[in-house]
């Protein structure tokens, strides 16, 4: 395994599956063996584009004894079953978030696979974003002293289609969960969550009993304060920013643009390209680096991170945000697992 290409299979040929498939196909250290999806036409098209094989039945994936691991990019309600089967066969797993929308299901999955030594990674790809990762490393090095405040801003350019929103689990379990994991990337031990949700512009989201906007305040055990701002729409693009403030200074990761060119003219100064408008472009490097971390974990070169426990913790915090927004009360986090 140290020198040969890793043999991997992919579940799901939708939007995320396409990202993973193309990154796998571009990596000479990996052989994408097959793509599994009950919607075989999509799988076949993606397999043709990436030099792999399309299959419809997951059993065909698990029948291949030569595999080293799987990537699960299929719908959320399939994650636990596919992860459990893969781990029981000794396969490494990279699973998109969330593990499941139901906490009891996630806890049962944990109990089923607790004795496994297979690497399990969760798809919180933003930890691998070069800007966010650099800020995290510099905070950890003590460059700004003790971290006192962390500010995370995450706004989508527009709401997802209603069909997706109906099964997404709501803004806190679907959208904010990425930001909750980012909060834990900096402050692993979060002890309380306060969340406020609002319906400001989307009738569809209101009818689904969900919020289109949210603001959260988290508190770390060391007194750190974390604020998260979310919106399901943003007129100027995909707004993704982070600021870490400490006793000796502040570090920030700003929005990215396709080029670093700036225009200075009578109409304005520092005029630049619009920021990226979608997560696929904004986090292209993060997805690629996430895959590299996964293959390194399979080869035993590093520990898989973020791991199953991180996925569980993010869901616990998301559930706490749901409760807080519904009750107007701060929710204490007494125990994550």
Segment 205-259, tens digit of pLDDT = 999 999 999 999 999 999 999 999 999 999 999 999 999 999 999 999 999 999 9
Task: Indicate whether 336 pLDDT > 60.
Answer: no
Residue 262 has pLDDT above 60, yes or no: yes
pLDDT of residue 2: 65
**pLDDT at residue 56 greater than cutoff 60:** yes
pLDDT in tens, 31-40: 999 999 999 9
Looking at residue 335, what is its pLDDT?
Answer: 64
Q: In the structure encoding, which two tokens stand for residue 90, read together?
A: 């000794």
Is pLDDT of 337 > 90?
no
Asked if 225 and 149 touch (Cβ cutoff 8 Å), the reply is: yes
pTM: 0.95
> Residue 3: what pLDDT?
76
* Average pLDDT taken over every residue of the chain: 96
Nearest residue to 289 via CA among 4, 6, 15, 23: 23
Give percent of the chain with pLDDT exceeding 90.
98
| 116-150 tens-digit pLDDT | 999 999 999 999 999 999 999 999 999 999 999 99
Average pLDDT over residues 67-71: 98
Report the distance separating Cα 273 and Cα 285, nearest Å.
19
User: How much is the average pLDDT of 282-294?
Assistant: 97
Shortest CA distance to 182 belongs to which of 317, 84, 295?
317
- What is the DSSP code (8-state) at residue 2? -
SS3 63: coil
Instruction: Measure Cα distances from 156 to 81, 200, 213, 278, 279 in Å.
Output: 30, 14, 10, 8, 8
pLDDT for 1 equals 64
Asked if the model's pLDDT at residue 334 lies above 90, the reply is no
Spatial distance between the Cα atoms of 130 and 132, rounded to a whole number of angstroms: 6
């Amino acid at each position: 395994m140290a020198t040969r290409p890793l043999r991997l299979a992919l579940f799901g040929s939708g939007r995320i599956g396409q990202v993973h498939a193309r990154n796998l196909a571009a990596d000479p250290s990996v052989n994408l063996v097959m793509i599994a999806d009950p919607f075989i036409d999509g799988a076949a098209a993606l397999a043709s584009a990436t030099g792999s094989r399309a299959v419809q039945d997951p059993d065909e994936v698990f029948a291949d004894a030569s595999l080293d691991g799987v990537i699960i990019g299929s719908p959320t309600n399939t994650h636990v079953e596919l992860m459990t089967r893969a781990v029981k066969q000794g396969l490494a797993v990279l699973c998109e978030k969330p593990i499941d929308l139901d906490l009891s299901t996630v806890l049962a999955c944990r109990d089923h696979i607790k004795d496994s030594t297979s690497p399990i990674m969760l798809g919180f790809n933003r930890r691998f974003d070069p800007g966010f990762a650099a800020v995290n490393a510099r905070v950890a090095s003590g460059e700004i002293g003790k971290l006192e405040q962390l500010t995370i801003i995450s706004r989508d350019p527009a709401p997802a289609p209603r069909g997706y929103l109906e099964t997404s689990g709501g803004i806190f379990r679907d959208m904010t969960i990425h930001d909750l994991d980012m909060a834990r990337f900096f402050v692993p031990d979060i002890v309380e969550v306060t969340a406020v949700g609002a319906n400001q512009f989307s009738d569809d989201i209101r009818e689904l009993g969900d919020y289109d906007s949210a603001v959260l305040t988290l508190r770390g055990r060391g007194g750190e304060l974390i604020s998260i701002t979310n919106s399901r729409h943003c007129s100027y693009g995909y707004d993704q920013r982070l600021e870490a403030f400490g006793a000796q200074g502040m570090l920030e990761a700003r929005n990215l643009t396709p080029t670093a060119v700036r225009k200075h003219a009578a109409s304005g100064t520092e005029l630049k390209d619009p920021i990226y408008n979608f997560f696929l472009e904004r986090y292209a490097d993060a997805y690629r680096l996430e895959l590299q971390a996964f293959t390194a974990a399979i080869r035993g070169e590093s520990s898989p991170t973020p791991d199953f426990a991180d996925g569980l913790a993010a869901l616990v915090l998301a559930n706490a945000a749901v409760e807080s927004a519904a009750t107007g009360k701060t929710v204490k986090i007494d125990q994550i697992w």
